[in-house]
Amino acid sequence: MAIDPFYQTIHPAEQSKTYDAGLRSYMLKIYNYMASALALTGIVALLAAHSDAFLSAMYVVEGDAITGAKPLAWIVMIAPLGLVMYLSFGLQRMSLLAAQISYWAYAALIGLSLSVIFLTYTNESIAQVFFITAGTFGGMSLYGYNTKRNLTPVGWFLIMGLWGLIVATLINIFLHSSGLQFMLSVIGVAIFVGLTAYDTQKLKALYYQDSANGEWYGKVVIIGALTLYLDFINIFLNLLNLLGKRRK
């Protein structure tokens, strides 16, 4: 039976219950994968930030301050982009195990690249911003899951805005404008908060399209978890730039 998750209802009661239970299980798997990846990222970042050997291999450190990045730091920062492209364009060809390994490797690499936030911001502000992010993400994901409104037009608008944000961020690498960075962080929060609702609704729709395909279903769970993970991380980093208390 073809099902439009946004506008149609399955009339037989038992079939509806079956789909609802399956959908809840599917979304729960996605959230569990996402939460596990966030935990892995946090643990790796914390351990790396307290490893003198790692910091000296990654950064130029003078006293308690990081004054530059070494080649390894650029490799660690660029490698996750390669893994995302590998997952996005090679998902159909790779095995479920390869997709899982790539997902966990991505989360660990992000942890290594985010280790610097523990040297830049106080632990208290990092914790506060994390809980603010969790509450914001949870509320918007819940909205995306329950709303009957089709968020696709909003999603496409946000994706176009995201490309503009990326271009502006690259430009600001050379401009070093604190005012522009503040504005980009505000825009970034707005974009990724909106994308959280859109992506949740999109993942809900994918369940109805692909729930019967066993291995592909498992891959959709992984790519769905990665999508929401990226939304969470980007909300967190932009909020941290706005609200985080820097170390003296």
Domain ranges within the chain, ordered by starting residue? 16-243
Residue 157 to residue 120: CA distance in whole angstroms: 33
Confidence check: pLDDT of 11 > 60:
no
Task: Tell me the per-residue pLDDT of 30-45, one tens digit each, with 9 for 90 and over.
Answer: 999 999 999 999 999 9
Task: Tell me the per-residue pLDDT of 100-140, one tens digit each, with 9 for 90 and over.
Answer: 999 999 999 999 999 989 988 999 999 999 999 999 999 99
Q: What is the share, in percent, of the chain residues with pLDDT greater than 70?
A: 88
pLDDT at site 210:
64
Which residues have C-beta within 8 Å of that of residue 37, sequence separation ≥ 6? 103, 104, 106, 107, 225, 226, 229
Q: What is the share, in percent, of the chain residues with pLDDT greater than 90?
A: 58
Contact (CB, 8 A) for 147 and 202: no
Residue 144 to residue 8: CA distance in whole angstroms: 17
The rounded mean pLDDT for the chain is 87
pLDDT at site 83:
87
Beta bridge partners of 62: 65
For the segment 165-194, the average pLDDT, to the nearest whole number, is 93
pLDDT at site 16:
53
pLDDT at site 182:
94
Eight-class DSSP state of 245: P
Token pair in block for residue 36: 């596990």
Confidence check: pLDDT of 15 > 70:
no
Confidence check: pLDDT of 9 > 70:
no
DSSP string, 174-243: HH--HHHHHHHHHHHHHHHHHHHHHHHHHHHHHHHHHTT-HHHHHHHHHHHHHHHHHHHHHHHHHHHHHH
pLDDT at site 213:
62
pLDDT band at 19 (very low <50, low <70, confident <90, very high): low
Q: What is the CB-side half-sphere exposure of residue 8 using CA atoms within 13 A?
A: 10
Contact (CB, 8 A) for 50 and 42: no
> Which is nearest to 90 in space by CA: 208, 223, 237?
223
pTM: 0.88
Scan for tokens 């490799």, then name that residue. 75
Q: Pick 8 or 162 by higher pLDDT.
A: 162
pLDDT at site 63:
63
Token pair in block for residue 90: 């090679």
For the segment 178-186, the average pLDDT, to the nearest whole number, is 93
